[in-house]
Structure 1
Amino acid sequence: MLLPGPPEVLRFADRLAARSHLFEARLDADQLIERACGDGDWSPHADQRAALRMLVGAVEAEASLSLFGRAALRWDIARFLANTRRLDEEEAACPTIGQTAVERPVFILGLPRSGTSFLHALMAQDPDTMAPRCWQTVYPYKPAARRRDRRIAQVGRQIALFTRIAPDLPSVHPITAETPQECSEITAHTFRSLRFDTTFRVPSYLAWLDAEGHDAAYAFHARFLRHLQRQTEPEPDARWVLKCPDHVFAFEAIRRTYPDARFVFVHRDPWHVLASVARLTEILRAPFTRRIDRLEIGRQVADRWVLGAQRIVAATESAGRDDLPVVHVTHGALVADPWATVCRVYEALGLTMRAPAAARIGAMIQARPDGGYGRNSYHPSTFGLVADRERERFAAYIERFLPGDETMGPPESRIRAA
């Protein structure tokens, strides 16, 4: 089932671009790097350069970029390279940045659309929590030439523009400039991030990334946090709380990078997860491509998160063998009683909830008891998803984490994003 992707205005721009042969001008990784380097003596690290070449090659061969997608990818690449250059310059001026410790971070992970964002947002209300905000992951430093810091407003305008292009996004993934952001936006700076697989159809890039592993990406992740930490001057008891479903594919890399990390796994009925992830993938990809195939997206999402569920089981077994600080929560418990769930996470991980944190978390629960998500009806069959087939494929995950608590829904069920 092939459907036109972007809204009508973007499709019109694509028709004009095709007539003008603009799609024949291919992206070139080395040219983009040369432009980012300018006249100075800076150049990206060798592994960053190699990953960018792989990404650009896959996008050109497989993603059917729209005119907007082509421009957006150029902008993203330039920004990632500029941010990396700025980190290098700051470290050259202040070598002690690299000595800053990132101690005992908390990682929230699990199946996507399981409530990880809601839990992250709740824990980020704690003044003792450091959570990377959307604006910080886009622009970790303000431009040196500017006296006023306009990054929050600038990112707010960028999000507003994108939601005009993708009007269904806020109901399935509400976001502002100050929303706690997923770590995939940090690892994207290395061009070794599953973020690109969500935004673009790049199966060869995904296969390459799975084979390469994630150690380089998480080494940069720790480096990025040190730069943010340096600018915030946290209290002694402050800790990072970090979130991304994609962490399940990099669990061992995270352990190698952060030996004292703590983990929160969030679990949900995979049947409700899959259609919601497929719909979000469709919404996110549509502006960037001239071709959307819902059935292909459904297959990709289901296959990927069957593997993700297997990785969650393996990570849990690994954590158990090594007696890691881990807590498991379910989407059902989180939505039914967010306060009790957060308190259980704090207790299990040995975190202290002070009075200001309790007040702010309680206020957020009162204002957004279900995380602020809208209602979205879409049938799983739209994406070719069949309950019996997925129930069988996720059987080990369900038996391990959701026995008698949440079960695979009936084939005719419609999905509510959460």
Structure 2
Amino acid sequence: MDPGRRPGSRSRMPNRIARRPEGGKMTKNRGPEFRQGDWVESVNALGKGLGDDGRSMISLDPNVVMAAAVENTGLSDFGDDDWFVEPLYALCKALELTLLGRVMARHEVQLLLQNRLRIEDTLKKNPHILDEPIENPIFVCGLGRSGTTVLHELLSEDPAHRVPQLWEMRHSVPPPETATYGSDARIGVADREIALLDKIDLDFSTMHINAGDKPNECIFLFGLQFLGDFFLGQYNVPSFIMATATKDLTPVYAYHKKVLQLLQWKHPGERWVLKCPAHLARLDFLFKVYPDARIVVTHRDPLRVMSSMSNLTTHLKAMRSEVPNAEGDMWAAAFGEKMLLDEYMALRDKLTDKADQIIDLRYQDLMKDALSTVRTIYTHWGLPFSDETQQRVRAYIDSHPQGQHGRHKYSFDDTGFDLAEERTKFAAYQERFDVPSEV
């Protein structure tokens, strides 16, 4: 694909929220409080001094970014599948950022493009990689804060399971190898990349813990196709939503599978265990590519987690933009939860032939007895739950008490919504999956 195939453009949006003061002081603006590193305002002031927030310094023209990726890698083939092109251009047009935000966005977009170039080059030189079998993968999905992360990490304790780590999804080539998997230099590279977030937002670690060698969401693989999910939680880009809202996502899952085949080529496992909340509403596309997939869905009171997810989203956007909209993020979280759960219920009614491949679990049961909940999954599909795996799961539980990294405080009261009205919206979901109310 030609990296210069379309011109890029950007739109200007007015600032709606004033910047926070220096010194890591706390202010409150239509939602969550922020404590930013003292240096952030100083960096962004450089862009303000130019009068364009750094647009003339850091280009996000997709043609420019694609050309830079080509120059950096010495490669030029982004693959025969050009599904990613339209959302890439839509994203770059929608971004409205501070100077620091532009640096972060440019890095993210260019890194994805460079990774894609290297993946395509590796597959071209080693076409047999696409013969790698992906059998009975397990996908964990559910609303944010419903236990998907802890369940994913508990399942990763089984030595038979292949779980994608952050570093290998961000820097996939050369493909990881078993002999050096735990010591690969790219782990440190990924650690340093994500460490910036904690330096920008001083409270971010209480909301989200990450590390280069930590099991992570396969949403990073969606980023290679520039699917909206990967960016919507980090950037204030409402116009970008429609770029992929009605598209057939089968090519996205097909590319997802290609990358898994590459990652397991020299470091295989018995089965993949993957996690991403967005799978919840896309099981039809997922099953087209992974017909023997096994789906684990976690369930929790949507009203309990609503403010937590909107708070996290607003923090992520505030790192990059001067136009975060806490009120809008709250409405988006409420709408998004309702849409995801309604679509999941509709898909369950539609995919009756896949009923045995889906298991529903409650957050309360996972928190009360994680070992028994994990055992339920193994029993449901007749998988061996070895003594070694049980010991490793127990060790994980003992070493990961809730709140060990600080508490992310959130409450339904923060939403400003009417409790009875919102409860009515989710009544059918809670009744169907026996989800207890927590507020």
Q: TM-score, normalised by structure 2?
A: 0.85
2:48 matched to 1:18?
Answer: yes
Q: Could you list the per-position Cα deviations for residues 323-378 of structure 1 after superposition, in whole angstroms to 9, with x for gaps in the alignment? A: 34111111100001101100001111222112221111110011114485632223
C-alpha distance in 2 between matches for 1:280 and 1:40 = 37
C-alpha distance in 2 between matches for 1:340 and 1:330 = 12
Name the SS of the counterpart of 1:232 in structure 2.
coil
Letter in 2 for 1:184: I
Q: Which has the higher contact order (CA 8 A, sep 6+)?
A: 1
Going from structure 1 to structure 2, the CA distance change for 1:155 and 1:14 (only over 3 Å counts) comes to same
Going from structure 1 to structure 2, the CA distance change for 1:263 and 1:385 (only over 3 Å counts) comes to same
2:230 matched to 1:187?
Answer: no
Letter in 2 for 1:305: E
2:407 matched to 1:407?
Answer: no
Q: Which residue of 2 aligns with 1:89?
A: 121
Name the SS of the counterpart of 2:84 in structure 1.
helix
Counterpart among 26, 35, 52 of residue 88 in structure 2: 52
Q: Which residue of 2 aligns with 1:128?
A: 160
Q: Which residue of 1 aligns with 2:30?
A: none
Letter in 2 for 1:345: I
2:185 matched to 1:150?
Answer: yes
Letter in 1 for 2:406: G
Going from structure 1 to structure 2, the CA distance change for 1:232 and 1:303 (only over 3 Å counts) comes to same
Going from structure 1 to structure 2, the CA distance change for 1:382 and 1:292 (only over 3 Å counts) comes to farther
Q: Which residue of 2 aligns with 1:240?
A: 272
Residues 154-303 of structure 1 mapped to structure 2, 5 A cutoff: 154-234=189-269, 238-303=270-335
Counterpart among 36, 52, 66 of residue 69 in structure 2: 36
**What is the RMSD computed on CA atoms of the aligned residues?**
2.2
C-alpha distance in 1 between matches for 2:292 and 2:233 = 29
Name the SS of the counterpart of 2:140 in structure 1.
strand
Q: Which residue of 2 aligns with 1:9?
A: 39
Q: Which residue of 1 aligns with 2:347?
A: 315
Q: TM-score, normalised by structure 1?
A: 0.89
Contact in 1 for aligned 2:60/2:92 (Cα 8 Å):
yes
Contact in 1 for aligned 2:133/2:261 (Cα 8 Å):
yes
C-alpha distance in 2 between matches for 1:28 and 1:281 = 25
Instruction: Report the count of equivalent residues.
Output: 398
C-alpha distance in 1 between matches for 2:142 and 2:69 = 36
C-alpha distance in 2 between matches for 1:22 and 1:371 = 41
Q: How far 1:319 sits from its partner (Å)?
A: 3.7
Q: How far 1:41 sits from its partner (Å)?
A: 6.0
Contact in 1 for aligned 2:206/2:406 (Cα 8 Å):
yes
Contact in 2 for aligned 1:380/1:386 (Cα 8 Å):
no
Q: Which moved more, 1:193-202 or 1:33-42?
A: 33-42
C-alpha distance in 2 between matches for 1:323 and 1:161 = 43
Name the SS of the counterpart of 1:210 in structure 2.
coil
Going from structure 1 to structure 2, the CA distance change for 1:133 and 1:280 (only over 3 Å counts) comes to same
Q: How far 1:185 sits from its partner (Å)?
A: 0.9
C-alpha distance in 2 between matches for 1:130 and 1:243 = 12
2:390 matched to 1:358?
Answer: yes
Q: How far 1:143 sits from its partner (Å)?
A: 9.6
- The structure whose residues are more often helix, as a share, is 1
Going from structure 1 to structure 2, the CA distance change for 1:397 and 1:374 (only over 3 Å counts) comes to farther
Going from structure 1 to structure 2, the CA distance change for 1:157 and 1:364 (only over 3 Å counts) comes to same
Contact in 1 for aligned 2:308/2:411 (Cα 8 Å):
no
Contact in 2 for aligned 1:263/1:326 (Cα 8 Å):
yes
Contact in 1 for aligned 2:281/2:341 (Cα 8 Å):
no
C-alpha distance in 1 between matches for 2:93 and 2:314 = 22
Q: Could you list the per-position Cα deviations for residues 83-137 of structure 1 after superposition, in whole angstroms to 9, with x for gaps in the alignment? A: 1111111112211001111111001111111000000000001100101011111
Percentage of matched positions with identical amino acids: 28
Q: Which moved more, 1:169-178 or 1:5-14?
A: 5-14
Contact in 2 for aligned 1:152/1:178 (Cα 8 Å):
yes
Name the SS of the counterpart of 1:16 in structure 2.
helix
Going from structure 1 to structure 2, the CA distance change for 1:218 and 1:373 (only over 3 Å counts) comes to farther
Contact in 1 for aligned 2:78/2:120 (Cα 8 Å):
no
Q: Which residue of 2 aligns with 1:415?
A: none
C-alpha distance in 1 between matches for 2:403 and 2:134 = 28
Q: Could you list the per-position Cα deviations for residues 5-54 of structure 1 after superposition, in whole angstroms to 9, with x for gaps in the alignment? A: 77253233223312213434352111111221229562324222222111
C-alpha distance in 1 between matches for 2:411 and 2:385 = 41
Q: Which moved more, 1:202-211 or 1:135-144?
A: 135-144
C-alpha distance in 1 between matches for 2:433 and 2:391 = 31
For structure 1, the residue ranges without an aligned partner over 5 or more in a row are 410-418
Name the SS of the counterpart of 1:107 in structure 2.
strand
